[in-house]
Amino acid sequence: MRIRDWLAQSRVVLQHSESPKRDAEVLLGYVLAKPRSWLIAFDDTSLSPAQLTRLTMLLERRRAGEPVAHLLGEREFWSLPLKVNNSTLIPRPDTEVLVEVALQLLGASPAAVLDLGTGSGAVALAIAKERPDCEITGVDRVPEAVALARENAALLALSGCRFLQSDWFSELSGAKYQLIVSNPPYIDATDRHLQQGDVRFEPLSALVADEGGLADLRKIADQSRDWLQKGGWLAMEHGWQQADAVSRLLTDAGYQQVATQADYGGNPRVTFGQYNPGQMAG
């Protein structure tokens, strides 16, 4: 079978996917170890039986809904190739907004940064890539996630990051941070989207929070005050309908200069504030 024929058939097989054409091209490029431009230029190339067997297996898994990132074992984030698995969330493009906000909030001097619920290490490693002068710590309560983040740091040779197993702040001691960032669980347990798309294959513990999705956001807002340097910043990703609620959480906890940054689709996605104990929040 030629490449063009396999792609045409695969688009039909994956017709219920959000992006059948792109999914088929990514899987084919993965098996052949070729870029998309090569697939287009040499689409009359015949596929070997071994290649077809492997492609059929991957295609069936994708048709069953398994995320492409899990099939490949990798997802790009902030131009970094990251190993991924089912112990963590798959890094999303909109989470790059959290990295952008973090870089804007960091001053010119070296700083200590904490990433809560680091998962694959995506946010921490992206910050480390741009700010090698900073000391980045990522924590996650899931040991498999910590192992994965450490593997990604080693593969990317980003030695400015360290990753620890910790339930939020539980295993930290004595440190103070200029910036704390987090993409915590923020989805309500009754949200119908939990039964759709890639999230069906991701750990619920990394997605769902009590209080309509606000419980962990509230806990981080409250507890971060004890771990921030004076004048330090907290930035949290949240659901697109939660911006007002998260802004109130920060304001009520005494944070100042509270503001929200939209994601690439124009939806409010990251809310941040500065903590100056002893001063009035405004």
273 annotated to bind ligand:
no
140 annotated to bind ligand:
yes
Strand partners, 177: 228
Q: How far apart are CA 145 and CA 10, in angstroms?
A: 33
- Looking from the CA of 263 toward its CB, the CA atoms found within 13 Å total 18
118 annotated to bind ligand:
yes
Distance from chain centroid for Cα 224: 20
29 annotated to bind ligand:
no
120 annotated to bind ligand:
yes
Which tokens in the block code for residue 89?
């969330």
Report CA-CA distances (Å) from 92 to 69, 77, 99, 176, 257: 11, 7, 12, 28, 27
Reference 213, options 181, 236, 196; nearest CA is 236
132 annotated to bind ligand:
no
184 annotated to bind ligand:
yes
Judge whether 212 and 185 are in contact, CB under 8 Å: no
- The widest CA-to-CA distance across the chain, in whole angstroms, is 71
186 annotated to bind ligand:
yes
Neighbouring residues of 125: CB distance < 8 A, sequence distance ≥ 6: 78, 80, 82, 136, 149, 152, 153, 156, 158, 161
185 annotated to bind ligand:
yes
Extract the annotated binding site for S-adenosyl-L-methionine. Answer: 117-121, 140, 168, 183
Residue ranges for the known binding site are 117-121, 140, 168, 183-186
Going by the annotation, the residues of the binding site for substrate are 183-186
